[in-house]
Amino acid sequence: MNRNSEVSGSNLERVLRSGEFALTGELGPPKSADRNNVIEKAKYLKGNVDAANITDNQTAIARLSSIASGVICLEQGLEPVVQITTRDRNRLAIQSDVLGAAALGIKNILCLTGDHQSFGNHPDAKNVFDIDSLQLVNMLYKMREEKIFECGDVIRNGKKGRVAEPRIFIGAAANPFAEPLDYRVMRLEKKINAGADFIQTQVIYNMERFRQWMQDVREKKLHEKVYILAGVTPLKSARMARYMKENVSGITFTEDIIRRMERAEDQKTEGRKIALEQIEELKKMEGVHGVHLMAIGGEKSVQGIAEEAGLLPRPPAVTG
């Protein structure tokens, strides 16, 4: 992370740079060409978050492209964090898409490996995985800072062409809960070394583990080298909690959370309450620079939660 001068001019970067506690949301593009679906969701998020992640064929299901959806969001005044996975595209396609995204005004990209295609609706597909998420972070970093493609060529159209590199604020994911546990801080460090500017973490349902992870992060002073946004998703029901606990690899739950959800009369309200408590704690946690609020299928609910968490109004968005 370059803390001396602005690298991308993105709103998210400016908010983080100013020291303000950042808030990002998430928008899942539809399984159709329905642009209104994106517009509708963008309306709920606009003004309530600093930027919104646009998922890239999430859970390996073919959807409206993250870049196209990101451009629709831009038109609506919502800053996108375009997600790019290495599952579906090789280094050629990704670099081409990054140039295209930058030319269309996109300034944040989150680099992911992506869920394996066997989880999605085209399990017979050939996967790509030409590069992994770390190599993608590094590729974007070299494109921005060294102004070169992966192959080493300068990013310009011919010898006399103007060097026009993509100015991208580079994001990566971190999972404090996956195994091997003691490797997770190392992996974060690796992503920082590769060139990540900001990190969004896996959803927290195990605050004890997250606290421990952050402590390790602080010990290594990694929080001074990268902006960390902690992942929060309000649980909708005890069933959802149990399902995730059993079926989603890399997410862990404390018994306490499951118990609270099971005992609650109104589970949805309880889930929201837990999320709000988490945000309260995260706001005070040293080294956490913001929250990534993923309300699954609940773009509508973001405003209310942000409001109640005292995160509104957001700093005025700067575009351009």
Q: Shortest gap between Cβ of 178 and another protein (angstroms)?
A: 5
- By beta-carbon proximity to another protein, the closer residue of 2 and 249 is 249
Cα separation, 64 vs 142, whole angstroms: 28
- CB neighbour class for 228 (10 Å; exposed up to 12, middle 13-18, buried from 19): buried
Q: Is residue 50 within 8 Å of residue 79, measured between CB atoms?
A: yes
- Closest distance between another protein and the C-beta of residue 218, in Å? 18
Distance separating alpha carbons of residues 258 and 143, to the nearest angstrom: 44
Minimum separation from the CB atom of position 121 to another protein (A): 16
Sign (positive/negative) of CA torsion 26, 29, 31, 37?
positive
When the beta carbons of 163 and 186 are compared against another protein, the nearer one is 186
Number of H helices, E strands in the chain: 11, 8
Closest CB to another protein among 73 and 171?
171
Q: CA-based angle 267:270:274, to the nearest 5?
A: 140
Q: Closer to another protein at the Cβ: 225 or 268?
A: 225
State whether residue 171 is helix, strand or coil.
strand
Give the H or E element holding residue 302: helix 302-308
Beta bridge partners of 170: 109
CB of 194 to another protein, least distance (A): 5
Q: Which is nearer to another protein, 161 or 250 (CB)?
A: 250
Binding footprint of another protein on the chain (CB under 8 A)? 87, 91, 113, 115-116, 118, 127, 129-135, 138-139, 150, 173-175, 178-180, 183, 186, 189-190, 193-194, 202, 249-250
Cβ closest to another protein, residue 153 vs residue 286: 153
Q: Is the Cβ–Cβ distance between 16 and 22 less than 8 Å?
A: yes
Nearest approach, Cβ of 62 to another protein (angstroms)?
A: 19
Rounded to a whole number of angstroms, the minimum distance from the CB of residue 135 to another protein is 5
